[in-house]
Every structure is written in C-alpha cells, then in structure tokens.
Amino acid sequence: MAHTLTLFKDKPLSLTLGGTLSPVDVAYQTYGQLNADKSNAVLLCHALTGDAEPYFDNANKGWWQDFIGPGLAFDTNQYFFICSNVLGGCKGTTGPASINPQTGKPYGSQFPIITVQDIVNVQKALIDALEIPHLHCVAGGSFGGMQATQWAISYPDFVSNIINLCSSLTLSAEAIGFNHVMRQAIINDPYFNQGDYYEGQSPDNGLKIARMLGMLTYRTDVQLARAFGREMKQQSAIWGDYFQVESYLSYQGVKFLDRFDANTYLRLLRALDLYEPSLGYANEKAALSRIKANYTLVGVTSDQLFKQVDLHKSKQALEEAGVNVHYSEFHSTFGHDAFLVDYDFFEPMIRQALAQSA
C-alpha cells in the first residue's frame, strides 16, 4: 500500500490557472534504499491512468512491474525510487473525489482545472518533505514523460537526468480531438450531474465508452488483428459484443470502473491537452533552454497517440534550445503502450540514461 503525506497545510498550493488548494494529500511509494549521500533518488512519473504503485512484491502486478526490481532496468539494488499519485488523481492524492474541507463533501465540480506544472510542483513538495536534496533522474512515459520534461524546466538545478518515453512536448490536434470525444462521452452521461455525482449513481456508461476509445489509441491495428481479427462471438446480439474485438473493448471499459473516477479522467485529460512547456516563459525555446539535465527521448514508430513526426519535432526543439538530447526510436506492435510492456527494447536505453552523470 502507498504511504500518504499531507502537504500545503499552512500555505495553500497556488495553481497555475488560478485558485488554490489546501491541504493536499499525496499518496506515494518507494522502492530500494536511499544511499548515505542521498544521490541515488529517482522519481517515477506515471501515465494518465497510473498510480503510486508501479511495482508489487506479491502476486499483484504494478503498471511497470517488469521494469522495476533487483537487476532490472530500474534497478532497486542501485537506486531509490519514488512514485506518487498525481494531483487530481483518485488513488490517494487529493482529487475531485476527495473531501473539500470547506463543504465537508467531495469536491466534484468545484475541483479546479490543473496543469502538468501544478502536478510537478506537488511532486517537488513531496521530495522536499522527504528531505531529498537532488534527483538523479526523473523518468516517465506518456503523460509521465510530460511531467519529466516539466521537472527539467521548473527545477533545472534539482535533476541530473530526464527519461521521456513515448511523449512529445505538446499534444497534437488529433490527440486533443480524441480526448474531446472521451470527455463528451462522460459529460453527456445522464448521471454525470455536472460532476457532482458522488451521492448518487456514477456516470459509468460514459466512462466505459471513454476508456474503450482510449484503448484504441494505445494499441495498433496489427496488434488487434493478430489478437482478434474478425472473429465473432457465439450467441451474441447483433448490436452487442458481436465481434471478439468488441468484447475485448467492453471488458476493458467495465474493468476500468473498478479503479478510476470520471472527474479525475476529465481533469487529467485536460491537463494533457493544456501542457505547454512555454507556459510562464516568453516562448518554448526560452523554457527549454532552462534544461540542464541530460535528456533521453524514446519514440515508437507505430505509436498512434504520440506520433513519430511529433517526437521528431520535439527532438529538434530540444536540440535548438541547447539541450543534451539522446534520441532513439523503434517499431513495436504494441504501439503507444510499448513503454509499459516492451522491456527488451527500452531496457538498454533506460540503463544508459541512468548511468549518465550530472
């Protein structure tokens, strides 16, 4: 189980787009041992629907289970890993389902719009509370890669290495479009109630549909064809799960309801859309030029969410800003989700990035 710290009790968290939050609970987990001079700390930033538990010691699997452990890419014999549930989350960190101390009820519609910058500022407060003076590395994939990038911008003297897997500097118009459709599925669910549904029925159908669409952006056509093809189910209604691929998506949608909150999904999708490294600076180059860390960027050529062309643009922008960028790309039938499962491809690049000095 994750640990929890309560932060911003005396001085509220000021949010990038306005407003404040106080207090802020942060759920986090650690793996490995912090060395004597506290120089081996690595922050792991989770993707959109992740949490503070990338690894379990028991039969349950964390979201980066195959990457973390003794002798693995994220070697717990060598490094001390910290991972926290993001601000706005629903796995122990303050989010829309948390109790608003002003009303005694869940925040719901009153929870503010948050940004990646806000998420990173909360992570920094956690690291400070743990009395860790410097991070050897910040690593993340997808939404976590955006967080890693913002760490290097916001706190350039605090982190030595950045690992960004499968994430461009900004989200494309197409990806924002996917997110819009997912949000509309939730918002138009008859039980959404403007986000204040906690005392009644949850907008489960909308959230299921949103998850199904999301799953299609994480996979590839090749993977779906290999797994399901045009195979049909026996004794299925024509408008139901007639094909096996439909049954798979429906199953993923239902399973998602057990671990995620619709308001959190809305807030984090919008944080993805809104992410701009240039926020608060004259332009993107001015923001990126603040980066002092070694920057490892890895793309997947079959990624349908963060496409190859967007990764190339990000690489170019980083280079033009003077960042020490190490770029790699490869093909995977897993598409965007490759960073969660394609260990053999990512392992050498992760090890190389972690081995770099400040």
Q: Among this protein's residues, is 336 annotated catalytic?
A: yes
Give the distance, in angstroms, between the CA of residue 121 and the centroid of all CA atoms in the same chain. Answer: 15
Was 342 annotated as part of a binding site? no
Catalytic entry in 51, 189, 303, 310: 303
Q: Among this protein's residues, is 142 annotated catalytic?
A: yes
Q: Which residues contact 33 (CB under 8 A, 6 or more apart)?
A: 80
Match 């159908």 to its residue by tokens. 205
The closest alpha carbon to 29, from 6, 65, 53, 7, belongs to 53
Q: Among this protein's residues, is 303 annotated catalytic?
A: yes
Residues 111/267, Cβ–Cβ less than 8 Å: yes
How far apart are alpha carbons 262 and 191 in whole angstroms? 11
Torsion sign, CA atoms 188, 191, 196, 202: negative
Catalytic entry in 142, 154, 168, 314: 142
DSSP 214-278: HHHHHS-HHHHHHHTTT-B-TT--TTSS-BHHHHHHHHHHHHHHTT--HHHHHHHHHHHHH--TT
Was 211 annotated as part of a binding site? yes
- Binding site as annotated, residues: 211, 337
- Binding site as annotated, residues for substrate: 211, 337
Catalytic residues: 142, 303, 336
